[in-house]
């Protein structure tokens, strides 16, 4: 496999002309951030990546594929190229970014997987030759795991050995320990737990220094589900005079929570105060995330009430993971059935009557008592009031829209224009149509909202003040109830059908009418 050999050589070689200090981890923060962002599903380059995959699937020879890849890297910015590389290297499933095999080729899954590996390695080889390339241990670890998981164990071990030798000769021992942590994370993410444990043994045989090394080790152990070992590393970190932050405690507590060890999770959370960590917004969010990892609604409810007493307002992140952990609300937002609640009061009422989780309704009610998230998402100026749904999951966006409409109903004066910014799905972790925009359009449409998709911005719903005031003065919830309870096959159903048809037709024609008025 010649591509792998070339990549292994280039991977273990830092950027030409870089000094020893510059070859260290301080110079690769951007690359690491890009890799972490892609691994978590974020990033805004997936459309260009999909076009890249479409071009690659049409190639017939290795030379043609190489030209496509080199052209892509040469034409894209450093950020876009590293985001594409990160996604390629971190995907544990070789078909995570769909690559359609041409119909005239009948190949096995193993061969298709090998094609994917070749594309990934060729892409990295092209990146290493870019003028902005900086060597990164996290990229080296990812490629080593990719090679070994696809049968190139010898090349993987050679790459690791060369990288360690160069790190030992040009950087501090701490960089070698950090490389072992990256190897643990990369190999465990591909299901090679035994190899990851081998690197853990080698890490323990390496002198450890610095809080950064301990943090990386704790994170890698938590990724592997080794909560006990991660807690021992946390205690060792303290014994060596380092002061861990809420983030490290949260990692260990969340690892226990995911394993169902609630007693240990609570113990680690309690030890945060013993370590002198003040309960601020960040620490409160971390504790809340620990409870959401095991969907313990009663403890989440108690913690939200404690936050309210301490005057710690929930953040957007807290809003997201609390609502994402509510199964009934999630089901409503995903299915968008005919009985979908169209107000916060209806939502809480339905949860109390239909949710099999007793604390779910109270949890949502408690979250709605705080307006901090809505106030931050809503921008009110003299010319426009805007609800910004960027950063919200579809489930959280659904609840926030209901909360926003309630707040709008309480207002008497409005600016000239009202808009809801949904985005077009660039930062979504689900590829395809923008899910938040689809949800916002559907929910607002069922309410009879006059907000329509802007002709100038496909990620924005907009309406004029007068139409919004007229809409907010109506009661659409009663119409939904009548529609859902009326089972007669006669005139009422036909009238409802005609009204729905006319409303849908108006939604389709509205942008064209606005465009024609503007042109006139």
Contact residues for 425 (Cβ-Cβ < 8 A; gap 6+): 431, 432, 433, 434, 435, 436, 437
Q: Residues 160, 145: contact at Cβ < 8 Å?
A: no
Alpha-carbon gap, residue 348 to 255, rounded angstroms: 31
Predicted local distance difference test score (pLDDT) of residue 509: 57
Cα–Cα distance list, 439 to 326, 346, 374, 495 (Å): 18, 18, 18, 26
Tokens describing residue 227: 């909560």
- Sequence-ordered list of residues with C-beta below 8 angstroms from that of 305, at least 6 positions apart, any chain: 366
pLDDT, one tens digit for every residue, the chain (520 residues): 444 444 444 444 443 333 333 333 333 343 344 444 443 434 445 567 677 777 776 776 778 888 888 888 888 888 888 877 777 776 534 434 343 434 333 333 444 456 667 777 888 888 888 888 887 888 888 888 888 887 788 888 988 998 888 888 776 668 888 999 999 998 988 889 899 999 999 999 888 878 888 999 999 999 899 999 999 999 999 888 888 888 899 899 889 888 888 888 888 888 888 888 887 888 888 888 888 877 889 989 999 999 999 898 889 999 998 999 999 999 999 888 888 999 999 999 999 998 888 899 999 999 998 888 999 999 888 888 899 998 899 999 999 999 999 998 888 788 889 999 987 755 554 555 678 889 999 999 999 999 998 888 888 899 898 898 889 888 655 444 433 333 333 444 444 455 555 555 555 555 555 445 454 4
Distance of alpha carbon 226 from alpha carbon 261, whole angstroms: 12
Q: Residue 28 and residue 24: Cα distance in Å, rounded?
A: 7
Residue 389 and residue 397 in contact, taking contact as beta carbons nearer than 8 Å: yes
Task: Name the E strands within 283-383.
Answer: 378-380
Which CA distances in Å does 312 have to 259, 288, 306, 349, 510? 28, 12, 9, 27, 43
Residue from 395, 397, 339, 399 nearest 368 by CA: 399
Burial of 412 (0-12, 13-18, 19+ CB in 10 A): exposed
Identify the H or E element spanning 330: helix 327-335
What three-state secondary structure class fits 337? coil
Q: CATH class for domain 370-473? A: alpha beta
What does residue 379 show for φ and ψ, rounded to 5 degrees?
A: -110, 115
Classify strands 417-421 and 452-453 as parallel, antiparallel or unpaired: unpaired
Q: Which sequence spans correspond to the domains of the chain? A: 208-294, 370-473
pLDDT at 331: 92
pLDDT at residue 196, rounded to an integer: 92
Output the CA–CA distances (angstroms, integers) from residue 351 to 285, 289, 345, 354, 404, in the order listed: 24, 22, 10, 5, 19
CA distance 80 to 504: 39
> Quick one: pLDDT at residue 426?
55
In sequence order, what are the beta bridge partners of 384?
A: 417
C-beta separation of 472 from 406 below 8 A? no
Which regions of 221-305 does DSSP assign to beta strands (E)? none
Q: Tell how far CA 143 is from the center of its chain.
A: 23
Instruction: Specify the 3-state DSSP secondary structure of 298.
Output: helix
Q: Is 244 helix (H, G, I), strand (E, B) or coil?
A: coil
The rounded radius of gyration (Å) of the Cα atoms in the chain is 27
CB 301 within 8 A of CB 292: no
Tell me which residue of 47, 119, 32, 15 sits closest to 82, measured CA to CA.
Answer: 32
C-alpha of 222 from chain center: 18
- Tokens of residue 129, six digits: 């030759």
Give the pair of three-digit tokens for residue 135: 């060597």
34/283 Cα distance (integer angstroms):
25
The pLDDT of residue 9 is 44
């Amino acid at each position: 496999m010649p591509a792998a050999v070339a990549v292994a050589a280039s991977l273990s070689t830092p950027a030409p002309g870089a000094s020893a200090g510059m070859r260290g981890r301080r110079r690769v923060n951007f690359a690491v951030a890009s890799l972490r962002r892609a691994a978590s599903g974020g990033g805004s380059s997936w459309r260009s990546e999909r076009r890249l995959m479409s071009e690659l699937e049409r190639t017939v020879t290795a030379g043609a594929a190489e030209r496509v890849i080199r052209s892509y890297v040469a034409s894209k910015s450093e950020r876009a190229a590293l985001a594409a590389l990160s996604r390629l290297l971190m995907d544990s499933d070789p078909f995570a970014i769909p690559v359609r095999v041409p119909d005239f080729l009948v190949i096995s899954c193993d061969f298709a997987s090998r094609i994917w590996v070749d594309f990934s390695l060729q892409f990295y080889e092209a990146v290493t030759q870019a003028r902005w390339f900086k060597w990164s241990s996290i990229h080296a670890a990812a490629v080593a795991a990719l090679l070994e998981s696809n049968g190139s164990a010898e090349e993987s071990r050679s790459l690791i050995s060369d990288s360690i030798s160069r790190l030992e000769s040009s950087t501090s021992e701490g960089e070698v320990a950090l490389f072992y942590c990256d190897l643990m994370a990369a190999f465990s993410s591909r299901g090679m737990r035994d190899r990851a444990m081998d690197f853990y043994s080698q890490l323990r045989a390496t002198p450890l220094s610095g809080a950064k090394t301990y943090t990386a080790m704790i994170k890698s152990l938590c990724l592997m589900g080794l909560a006990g070992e991660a807690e021992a590393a946390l205690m060792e970190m303290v014994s060596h005079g380092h002061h861990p932050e809420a983030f490290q405690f949260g990692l260990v507590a969340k690892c226990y929570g995911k394993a169902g060890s609630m007693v240990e999770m609570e113990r680690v959370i309690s030890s945060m105060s013993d370590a002198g960590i003040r309960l601020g917004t960040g620490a409160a969010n971390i504790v809340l995330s620990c409870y959401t990892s095991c969907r313990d609604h009663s403890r989440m409810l108690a913690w939200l009430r404690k936050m309210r007493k301490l005057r710690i307002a929930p953040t957007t992140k807290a809003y997201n993971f609390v609502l994402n952990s509510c199964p009934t609300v999630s089901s409503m937002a995903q299915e968008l059935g005919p009985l979908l609640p169209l107000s916060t009061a209806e939502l809480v009422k339905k949860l109390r009557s239909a949710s099999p989780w007793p604390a779910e309704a109270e949890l949502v009610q408690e979250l709605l008592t705080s307006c901090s998230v809505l106030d931050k998402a809503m921008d009110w100026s003299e010319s426009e009031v805007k609800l910004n749904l960027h950063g919200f999951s579809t489930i959280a966006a659904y609840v926030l829209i209901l909360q926003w409409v309630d707040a709008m109903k309480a207002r008497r004066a409005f600016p000239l224009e009202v808009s809801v910014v949904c985005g077009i799905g660039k930062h979504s972790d689900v590829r395809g149509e923008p899910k938040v925009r689809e949800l916002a359009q559907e929910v607002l449409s069922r309410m009879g909202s006059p907000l329509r998709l802007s002709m100038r911005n496909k990620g924005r719903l907009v309406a004029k003040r007068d139409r919004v005031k007229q809409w907010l003065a109506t009661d659409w919830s009663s119409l939904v109830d009548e529609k859902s309870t009326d089972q007669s096959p006669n005139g009422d159903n036909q009238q409802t059908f005609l009204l729905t048809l006319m409303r849908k037709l108006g939604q389709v024609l509205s942008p064209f009418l606005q465009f024609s008025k503007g042109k006139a």
